């Protein structure tokens, strides 16, 4: 089963934030050493704008998925925390970009704090985003959490498949019962027609008998 599209977009946004942090670090180095950071500044402005748009898209997609109940509430809350942390990181990056590169620069690790340096699937990268996380996910990497979510989704899919099989069997049983009822109705119709014909014959024979009796009585009276 394909990975959740929202998580894919989230991972891409994290990588973009990491790239911005590295470019800011390089821009500041150029400024301190007398280099020309103009081209890098243009790239950074475009990247920061794209980062803001990506975060907005993540937020809108999450709200839509939550309102349509496509994800569980606990997962919606967890993802909202991820988006909030991205918003905070975006503001920090914008502030750092606006600062003159000759000012004391925040450490590279602080720019990338929040998990941008290792990504969400790297080995040993502990998930830094969860606030008040459950015991089930505490200490897990993003990759391990995704695997856990995938197992839950697979179990739900298996349950839906089983339910679908039960419904299909019930549908077939209903169709078979319906066919049998149709056959029984046809038999009843045949019996009804036969009874009607028999009843008609009996009435005809009864009339003939009465007619014969009437003629016999008339003949007997004439003979007397």
| Chain position carrying tokens 């891409």 | 12
Q: What angle (nearest 5°) sits at the alpha carbon of residue 96, between those of residues 94 and 97?
A: 65
Q: How many domains does the chain divide into?
A: 1
Q: Give a yes or no: residue 188 inside a domain.
A: no
Q: What are phi and psi of 6, to 5 degrees?
A: -60, -45
Residue 101, domain member (yes or no): yes
Cα distances (angstroms) measured from residue 62 to each of 3, 31, 124, 216: 16, 39, 27, 100
Residue 135 lies in a domain: no
The predicted structure's pLDDT at residue 137 = 60
| Mean of per-residue pLDDT scores for the chain | 78
For the ranges 125-129, 149-153, 170-174, 207-211, which has the lowest average pLDDT?
A: 125-129
What are the tens digits of pLDDT across the range 107-125? 444 444 444 443 444 433 4
Asked if the structure places residue 219 within a domain, the reply is: no
User: Is the confidence at residue 173, as pLDDT, over 60?
Assistant: yes
pTM of the model: 0.46
């Amino acid at each position: 089963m394909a990975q959740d599209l929202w998580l894919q977009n989230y991972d891409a946004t994290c990588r973009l934030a990491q790239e911005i942090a590295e470019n800011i670090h390089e821009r500041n180095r150029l400024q301190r050493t007398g280099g020309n950071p103009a081209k890098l500044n243009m790239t950074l402005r475009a990247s920061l704008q794209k980062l803001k748009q990506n975060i907005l898209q993540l937020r809108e997609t999450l709200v839509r998925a939550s309102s349509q109940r496509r994800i569980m509430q606990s997962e919606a809350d967890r993802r909202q925390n991820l988006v909030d942390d991205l918003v905070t990181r975006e503001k920090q990056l914008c502030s750092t970009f606006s600062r003159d590169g000759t000012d004391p620069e925040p450490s590279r690790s602080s720019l990338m704090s929040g998990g941008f340096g290792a990504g969400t699937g790297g080995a040993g990268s502990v998930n830094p985003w969860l606030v008040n996380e459950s015991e089930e996910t505490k200490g897990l990497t993003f990759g391990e959490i995704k695997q856990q979510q995938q197992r839950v989704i697979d179990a739900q899919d298996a349950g839906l498949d089983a339910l679908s099989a039960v419904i299909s069997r019930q549908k077939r049983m209903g169709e078979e019962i319906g066919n049998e009822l149709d056959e029984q109705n046809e038999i009843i119709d045949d019996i009804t027609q036969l009874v009607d014909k028999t009843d008609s014959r009996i009435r005809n024979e009864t009339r003939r008998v009465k007619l014969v009796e009437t003629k016999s009585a008339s003949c007997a009276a004439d003979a007397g």
